Structure 1
Amino acid sequence: MTEFVLVAGAWLGSWAWDEVVPELRAAGHGTHPLTLSGLADKQGVPAGQQTHVQDIVDEVERHDLRDVILVGHSYSGIPTGQAAERIGDRLARVVFVDSNVPTDGESFVSGWPDGRAMMEASIAGNGGFWAPLTAADCEGQGLTAEQIARIVGGSTPHPGATLTEPAVLARPLGELPATYIKCLLDGDKPNDDVAKLLTSEHWRLVEMDTGHWPMFSQPRELARILLDAAAE
C-alpha cells in the first residue's frame, strides 16, 4: 500500500483534494491531504518556507508512513521537493503537479525576475500575505463556474515569508525518483528548471490537457496518474 501525502498550492488547504482522495482510497492506498501552516484551517499560525517543509516531514514521521508518494501542487512543489529528500528511505516517489521546484538558495519569488519587486511590494502592502485568488485568475484553466467559485471561496491569504525564504537542498533534486505533471492550458512546456531536471533518468513527464488546478478540473484523471506513479 502506498501512502499519498497531498499538498495543495498557494492559498489552498487539504480540502482541495476532496475529489482525488476517494479514487486513491478505492484503489487501496493511504491518503493524507495536508493543510500547510498559516492556510485554510491553520490560519493564524506563523509560517516561513521551512515551516512548510517541516509540516510535510512531520506528517510522514507522525504517522510512521512508509512507501510514501509526496504530491506537491504549484507553490507547494518547493517545500515538497525539500521534504522529499529529508524523509530518506520512506520516499517512494515525489510528484510535482504543474508546480515550482526548489533550487538550493533560491526562493519562490526568485523565479519571477520581472515581477519580484512587484510581488514583494504586494506582500508588504497586504500585511505580509499574498492576496487570495480572484475569479479572473482562474479563467482559461478548464474550470467550470462552479469550480472557480469553490477555489476562490476556499482561498485564504498565503503567508508571504514562505515565498521569499530560500530553499535548502542537500543534494541534487534530479537524483530523486519523480514525476512532473504539466498542465497544458497553463503553458505547453515546463520551465527551464524543470526541463533540466527532466533530463535525469529518475524523472518522467506526464501531460494533462487541462489547466493549473487539475484536482478540480480533472480529479479522476489526476488520480489515475498518481496511481500510475504508485505502480512504478
Structure 2
Amino acid sequence: MANYVLVAGAWLGAWVWDEVGAELRAAGHGVHPVTLSGLAERRGEPAGQQTHVADVVSAVERLDLRDVVLVGHSYSGIPVGQAAERIGDRLTGVVFVDANVPVDGESFADQGAEPAALVAAIAANGGFWAPMPAAEFAEQGLTTEQIDRIVAGATPHPGSSLTEPAVLERPLAALPATYVKCLLDWPEPPPVVVELVAGGGWRLVELDTGHWPMVSQPVELARVLARV
C-alpha cells in the first residue's frame, strides 16, 4: 500500500481532499493531506514557493513516509514537482491533477496567459491572489452546493509563491509521473506535458469533469490515484 501526500491548488487547504482521502483509506492506503503555508488554517504564515516545497518535503520526512505518491493539484503541481526530486527513494510516483508543472527558472505567473495582469492583481490585493467568485466555477461539473463549499473554504493565496521561480535539478522526464487532465477545464494538457507524454516517460489520464475533481468526482479521482 502507498502513502498518498495530497496537496491542493491555489486558495485551498487539506480539507478539500476529505472525500478522496476517505476512498483511499478504505482501500488500505495511507493518506496525508497537506495545507500549504499561508492558506486555510495556516493563513497568516509567511509563504513563498520554496516555502511550499519545504512544506511537502517536511511532511514526508516528519512522518517518515515510504512508498510515497505525491499528488499536486493546479498551482501545487509546481512545488510538488520540485519536492518529488528532493525526497529520494521515498518516492513511488507523482500525480499532477490538472496542474501546472515546474519549469526551472519559471514561476506560476510566467506560465499564465497574462503574467503582468496577475502580478498587478496581486499587488492591488495587498500581496495576495484573491479567491474567485462563485460565478467562475460554472461549467466545471460542480453542483451549487459544491461550489458554495469551495468558495466558503477558500482563502487569499500568498502572491510571492506565484511569482517565485521554480528550481529543478533534473529533467521532469526523470519523474515517475501521471498527469490527470480534466476535460471540462481545457481539453489539452500544457505543452511541456504533451512532450513528456509523447516521449513515453509520463502517463496521461483523462477525467470528464472540471478543474476541481477532488470535489466533483472524488471516487473517480481516487481510483486513478490508487492505480498509480
TM range (shorter): over 0.9
Instruction: Please say if residues 7 and 72 of structure 1, whose CA atoms lie closer than 8 Å, have aligned partners that are also in contact.
Output: yes
The DSSP-based 3-state class of the residue aligned with 1:147 is helix
TM-score, normalising length: structure 1: 0.97
Matching residue of 1:88: 88
Instruction: Tell me, in whole angstroms, the C-alpha distance in 2 between the residues paired with 1:84 and 1:137.
Output: 31
> What 5-or-longer segments of structure 1 have no aligned partner?
none
Matching residue of 2:14: 14
Instruction: Please say if residues 175 and 200 of structure 1, whose CA atoms lie closer than 8 Å, have aligned partners that are also in contact.
Output: no
Instruction: Tell me, in whole angstroms, the C-alpha distance in 2 between the residues paired with 1:212 and 1:160.
Output: 21
Matching residue of 2:187: 188
For residue 38 of structure 1, report the CA deviation from its aligned partner.
0.1
Matching residue of 1:158: 157
TM-score, normalising length: structure 2: 0.99
RMSD: 0.7
For residue 199 of structure 1, report the CA deviation from its aligned partner.
2.4
Matching residue of 1:204: 203
For residue 202 of structure 1, report the CA deviation from its aligned partner.
2.6
For residue 189 of structure 1, report the CA deviation from its aligned partner.
1.0
Identity of aligned residues (%): 68
Matching residue of 2:38: 38
Q: 2:115 matched to 1:116?
A: yes
Q: 2:97 matched to 1:97?
A: yes
How big is each residue's C-alpha offset from its partner over 1:39-69, in whole Å with a ceiling of 9 and x where there is no partner? Answer: 0000000000000000000000000100000
For residue 16 of structure 1, report the CA deviation from its aligned partner.
0.3
For residue 209 of structure 1, report the CA deviation from its aligned partner.
0.2
The DSSP-based 3-state class of the residue aligned with 2:140 is coil
The DSSP-based 3-state class of the residue aligned with 2:198 is coil
Q: 2:128 matched to 1:129?
A: yes
Amino acid at match of 1:16: V
Question: Deviating runs (4+, > 4 A) in structure 1?
Answer: none
How big is each residue's C-alpha offset from its partner over 1:80-106, in whole Å with a ceiling of 9 and x where there is no partner? Answer: 000000001100000000000000000
Instruction: Please say if residues 70 and 80 of structure 1, whose CA atoms lie closer than 8 Å, have aligned partners that are also in contact.
Output: yes
Instruction: Tell me, in whole angstroms, the C-alpha distance in 2 between the residues paired with 1:127 and 1:200.
Output: 42
Instruction: Please say if residues 186 and 211 of structure 1, whose CA atoms lie closer than 8 Å, have aligned partners that are also in contact.
Output: yes
Matching residue of 1:221: 220
Instruction: Please say if residues 215 and 222 of structure 1, whose CA atoms lie closer than 8 Å, have aligned partners that are also in contact.
Output: yes
How many residues were matched structurally? Answer: 228
